[in-house]
Structure 1
Amino acid sequence: MAMRKLWKKGLIGALAISMLAACSDSSSSSNEVNSDLTLEEITKKAKEEGNVNSVGMPDTWANWVETWEELGTEYSLKHKDTDMSSAEELAKFEAEKEDATADIGDVGIAFGPIAKDKGLTLPYKTSYWDEIPDWAKDDEGHWIVGYTGTISFLTDKNNVKNAPTSWEDLKNGDYNVSIGDALT
Structure 2
Amino acid sequence: MAKFPRNGGGRMIFPAIDLLGGESVRLYQGDYQKKMVVETDPFTQLQAIEAAGLRQVHLVDLDGAKKGASVNADLIRRLRENSDIFLELGGGIRTLQQIDDYLQLGINRVILGSIAVTNPELVQEAVTRFGPEKIVVGVDGQDGQVKTAGWTEASQHTGRYCNATGKRVGRYDCRSRTIRR
TM-score interval w.r.t. the shorter chain? 0.3 to 0.5
Larger of the two Rg values belongs to structure: 1
More contact order relative to length (CA 8 Å, sep ≥ 6): 1
* TM-score for both structures, normalised by structure 2: 0.33
Higher strand content, 1 or 2: 2
TM-score using structure 1 length: 0.33
